[in-house]
Amino acid sequence: MAMTARQQRYARLAMPWLTLAVLLIAWELACLVFDVPEIVAPRPSQVFAVMVQRWDLLVRFCLETLWTTMIGFVLAIGFGLLLGLAIGASPFVYAGLYPLLIAFNAIPKVAIVPILMIWLGIGALPAIITAFVISFFPIVVNVATGLATIEPEMRDLMRSLGASNYEILTKVGIPRAMPYLFASLKVAATLAFVGSVLSETVGGNRGIGFLMLSASARNDSATTFAGLFAIAIMGVAVYAACALVERRMTRWAFRGELVR
Amino acid sequence: MTAPQTAPGASPPLVELNAVSLAYGEGREATLALADATMKIGQGEFVAVVGPSGCGKSTLMKLVTGLIPPTSGEVKVRGERVTRPIKGVGMAFQNATLLPWRTTRDNIMLPLEVVQPHKSRLRAERAAYFDKAQKLLASVGLGEFGDKYPWQLSGGMQQRSNVCRALIHEPQILMLDEPFGALDAFTREELWGIMQALWLERRFTAVLVTHDLREAVYLADTVYVMSRRPGRIVKIRKVDLPRPRTLETTFQAEFVDIVHELRERIQMEHG
């Protein structure tokens, strides 16, 4: 049975919700059939009940996490963009910094949170810095790639016109790097959440990570799972916002007709 | 029909190559791309360089425009030794390299944002430059496509835009590196006609690198044949067929004879 274009579009929009519903129902049924105790794995219905019941509390802790994540993320964009431009534009900066960046990226960030706590105490600052540190790497790599892959012909053409390196960078390099930047933001935004929640979980007195930690200490697994759901929802929301900005800013990179 | 103004000794040639060689790499790994090239290109002359692939044709273009310095010998343009990218050049490559975030018209106006004196006038005289770009687009049959993005154009249209971009700042020298190489035969022949019309109107000096012998003979006043790597100039053939040449011309005996003559010389390189 053939679907019209419109039906296909609606079906595509409905797919993620359908998949989610199927998964949650399967989870619920599995818990009921195998008689899983709530402390091991609460049923989704129990999690949702807790979410409604403790709505105020959840929203407060969520906003704390969202706030620290966004500050870290914005810092990562600024820093990642500048460093990416420097690395992509200059072979010397590339040679000097790239190996160090790889080494730094390989360090498990959970290891630096205690150090940050010693330096900065507990509170929002370690979470902001962890979010920043974990999310700037993909931005740097993508922006640098966008710059470094300018077609040699385009470079020759600009040089033959007498363009300075600065003109080549602003007229060709930076616009060309934009789709790479926005693609990396989607990845970086979700990583920033990982960073701030990680910091809140290792040690802290605020945010959704702290809420989950204290809930699990009280064997309140329904609240812990409610926290997980909340993080996932925030992650998807920020991802969607980044995707929207990407579409707006670099429409050309989607080659017109493909934009939906 | 006027013959090209390249009477030897009349005026110093616009572009002069004296025993120019170029090697890529250093020491033992150096490969010689171009050996001992000597050329004289007159003002307003249309030159084609043909030869087997990898013979250093594109290297020759980069040398003339000063994008790379020769390993030995000297390149002179307007009587002056070339040491850095020279002014007054337009370039078009096989790959159109139009910027996808700019409309076709904005792509064509790119050189105006970089090259003086246009760069400093552009803001004040935007409307005049806009008209100029529009006229140039219209002259290659793209008058209605200025607001389209390059990826909305066909390959032939993209190459026409590419040529427009190379000409908008009215360069004295136009460098064409296999600009029609990736097009189908019909489109290519159509663009030969457009190219010739632009040249007849503006009389810039053109250097066309190609491996299509018919294209070379159709467009050029002088065809240089290069040997296999390291590229040497092994034959210089004047083409004095009357202009404007048409597709009809390409079937005439004189035209076919020249193509055969060039073909035989290149065949020797492969043999």
Report the residue from A156, A163, A178 with minimal CB separation from B114.
A163
**The pLDDT value given to residue B6:** 45
Cβ separation A153–B110 shorter than 8 A: no
* In-domain check, residue B4: no
Asked if residue A148 and residue A19 are part of one domain, the reply reads: no
**The pLDDT value given to residue A133:** 93
Nearest chain B Cα distance for residue A180, angstroms: 14
Asked if residue B77 and residue B177 are part of one domain, the reply reads: yes
Q: Which of B146, B171, B196 is the last residue of a domain?
A: B171
Q: Are B174 and B206 in contact (CB under 8 A)?
A: yes
**The pLDDT value given to residue B10:** 52
B53-78 in b/e form (b: 16+ CB < 10 A) is eebbbbbbbbbbbbbeebbebebbbb
Q: Are B177 and B94 in contact (CB under 8 A)?
A: yes
Could you give the number of structural domains in chain B? 2
Chain A CA closest to residue B112 = A161
Asked if residue A89 and residue A184 are part of one domain, the reply reads: yes
Asked if residue B125 and residue B246 are part of one domain, the reply reads: no
Q: Residue B263 has which token pair?
A: 């073909």
Could you give the number of structural domains in chain A? 2
Chain B CA closest to residue A173 = B99
Cβ separation A156–B91 shorter than 8 A: yes
Q: Are A197 and A207 in contact (CB under 8 A)?
A: yes
Report the residue from A161, A178, A250 with minimal CB separation from B114.
A161
Q: Are A171 and B119 in contact (CB under 8 A)?
A: no
Cβ separation B67–A159 shorter than 8 A: yes
Across B124-136, average pLDDT: 86
Mutate to test the interface with A, among B77, B82, B93, B103 (most CBs of A within 10 A): B93
What range defines the domain where residue B147 resides?
97-171
Asked if residue A210 and residue A194 are part of one domain, the reply reads: yes
Report the residue from B89, B110, B115 with minimal CB separation from A171.
B110
Asked if residue A66 and residue A144 are part of one domain, the reply reads: yes
Asked if residue B187 and residue B81 are part of one domain, the reply reads: yes
Q: Is pLDDT of B149 > 80?
A: yes
- Across chain A, which distance is largest between two alpha carbons, in Å? 75
Q: Which of these, B246, B163, B243, B241, lies nearest to B208 by C-alpha position?
A: B163
Which residues in chain B have Cβ-Cβ distances shorter than 8 Å to A167?
A: 114
Q: Which of B171, B205, B231 is the last residue of a domain?
A: B171
Which residues in chain B have Cβ-Cβ distances shorter than 8 Å to A160?
A: 65-67, 85-86, 89, 91, 175
Compute the radius of gyration of chain B from its Cα atoms: 19
CA distance B27 to B25: 7
Which residues in chain A have Cβ-Cβ distances shorter than 8 Å to B99?
A: 154, 172, 175-176
Question: How is the beta sheet containing B15-24 ordered, strand by strand?
Answer: B31-41, B15-24, B72-77, B80-81
* In-domain check, residue B164: yes
Q: Are B31 and B71 in contact (CB under 8 A)?
A: no
Nearest chain B Cα distance for residue A10, angstroms: 28
Asked if residue B180 and residue B229 are part of one domain, the reply reads: yes
Asked if residue B189 and residue B167 are part of one domain, the reply reads: no
**The pLDDT value given to residue A189:** 93
* In-domain check, residue B26: yes
Asked if residue A177 and residue A234 are part of one domain, the reply reads: yes
Asked if residue A85 and residue A14 are part of one domain, the reply reads: no
* In-domain check, residue B55: yes
The residues of A whose Cβ lies within 8 A of any Cβ of B are 151, 153-154, 156-163, 167, 171-172, 175-176, 178, 250, 252-253, 255-256
The residues of B whose Cβ lies within 8 A of any Cβ of A are 62, 65-67, 85-87, 89, 91, 93, 95, 97, 99-101, 110-111, 113-116, 149, 151-152, 169, 175
Asked if residue B105 and residue B225 are part of one domain, the reply reads: no
Q: pLDDT for B181-240, tens place per residue?
A: 888 888 888 889 888 998 999 899 999 999 889 999 999 999 999 888 788 888 888 888
Asked if residue B189 and residue B156 are part of one domain, the reply reads: no
Cβ separation A256–B152 shorter than 8 A: yes
**The pLDDT value given to residue B228:** 81
Read off the CATH number of the domain in which A213 is found: 1.10.3720.10
Asked if residue A211 and residue A91 are part of one domain, the reply reads: yes
Q: How many other C-beta atoms can be found within 10 angstroms of the C-beta atom of residue A52?
A: 9
**The pLDDT value given to residue A78:** 95
Asked if residue B271 and residue B233 are part of one domain, the reply reads: yes
Asked if residue A204 and residue A164 are part of one domain, the reply reads: yes
Asked if residue A20 and residue A73 are part of one domain, the reply reads: no
Cβ separation B91–A157 shorter than 8 A: yes
* In-domain check, residue B176: yes
Cβ separation A161–B151 shorter than 8 A: no
Q: pLDDT for A178-221, tens place per residue?
A: 989 998 999 999 999 999 999 998 877 889 999 999 998 998 99
Read off the CATH number of the domain in which B77 is found: 3.40.50.300
Which residues in chain B have Cβ-Cβ distances shorter than 8 Å to A151?
A: 95, 97
* In-domain check, residue B248: yes
| CA A177-A178-A183 angle, 5° bins | 105
Asked if residue B242 and residue B260 are part of one domain, the reply reads: yes
Task: Give the length of chain B.
Answer: 271
Q: Which of these, B46, B14, B37, lies nearest to B207 by C-alpha position?
A: B46
Q: Is pLDDT of B75 > 70?
A: yes
The mean pLDDT value of chain B amounts to 86
Size of interface A-B (CB pairs under 8 A): 58
Mean pLDDT by 10 residues, chain A (260 residues): 81 92 95 90 92 92 94 96 91 90 89 88 89 94 90 89 89 91 92 93 86 91 93 93 86 58
Contacts of A153 (CB under 8 A, 6+ apart): B93, B95, B97
Q: 3-class secondary structure for chain B?
A: CCCCCCCCCCCCCCEEEEEEEEEECCHHHCEEEEEEEEEEECCCCEEEEECCCCCCHHHHHHHHCCCCCCCEEEEEECCEECCCCCCCEEEEECCCCCCCCCCHHHHHCHHHHHCCCHHHHCCCCHHHHHHHHHHHHHHCCCCCCCCCCHHHCCHHHHHHHHHHHHHCCCCCEEEEECCCCCCCHHHHHHHHHHHHHHHHHHCCEEEEECCCHHHHHHHCCEEEEECCCCECEEEEEECCCCCCCCCCHHHCHHHHHHHHHHHHHHHHHHC
**The pLDDT value given to residue A255:** 64
Asked if residue A102 and residue A229 are part of one domain, the reply reads: yes
Across B141-145, average pLDDT: 87
Phi, psi angles (nearest 5°) of residue B46: -105, 115
Q: Is pLDDT of B129 > 80?
A: yes
Asked if residue A78 and residue A121 are part of one domain, the reply reads: yes
Chain B CA closest to residue A163 = B114
Q: Residue A132 has which token pair?
A: 């920043």
Asked if residue B234 and residue B200 are part of one domain, the reply reads: yes
Asked if residue B259 and residue B157 are part of one domain, the reply reads: no
Report the residue from B67, B95, B113 with minimal CB separation from A160.
B67
Cβ separation B149–A161 shorter than 8 A: no
What range defines the domain where residue A148 resides?
44-258
Chain A CA closest to residue B102 = A252
Which residues in chain A have Cβ-Cβ distances shorter than 8 Å to B95?
A: 151, 153
Nearest chain B Cα distance for residue A139, angstroms: 21
Q: Is pLDDT of B107 > 90?
A: yes
Nearest chain A Cα distance for residue B103, angstroms: 10
Q: pLDDT for B15-68, tens place per residue?
A: 988 888 888 887 777 888 888 888 889 999 999 998 877 777 788 888 888 888
**The pLDDT value given to residue B190:** 87
| ipTM of the complex in this document | 0.84
* In-domain check, residue B8: no
* In-domain check, residue B1: no
Q: How far apart are the first and last CA of chain B?
A: 39
Asked if residue A67 and residue A26 are part of one domain, the reply reads: no
Cβ separation A253–B100 shorter than 8 A: yes
